[in-house]
Amino acid sequence: MNVGRILYILGLIFAVYSIAVLVMSFFTGGGSILMVFGVLNGFIAMGVGDMVIDMNRRKKNTAGGDLNDNQDKHEND
């Protein structure tokens, strides 16, 4: 869970920093295409972090007792 949160926060920081540098580069005249890739990289890191957090939450919910319910369903079939 901590890995997902850290990855999400680092992706957020990286995306915000890249957007700020990209906007500043428009006013200085030195447009850099690398910052566009930095924004995409930040968004990907945020998405992966969110998926890790969701997978951890689902694993905790199924360990609480949903496994027995699924076993009963298979026995009735």
pTM score of the predicted model: 0.69
How many residues in total does the chain contain? 77
Q: Is-contact 40 15, C-beta < 8 A? A: no
DSSP 1-58: -HHHHHHHHHHHHHHHHHHHHHHHHHHHT---THHHHHHHHHHHHHHHHHHHHHHHHH
Q: What is the pLDDT of residues 48-71, one digit of tens each?
A: 999 999 998 888 877 665 555 555
Residue 39 predicted with pLDDT over 70: yes
Cβ neighbors of 17 (< 8 A, separation 6 or more) are 38, 42
pLDDT tens digits for 6-28? 999 999 999 999 999 888 888 88
Which is higher by pLDDT, 32 or 66?
32
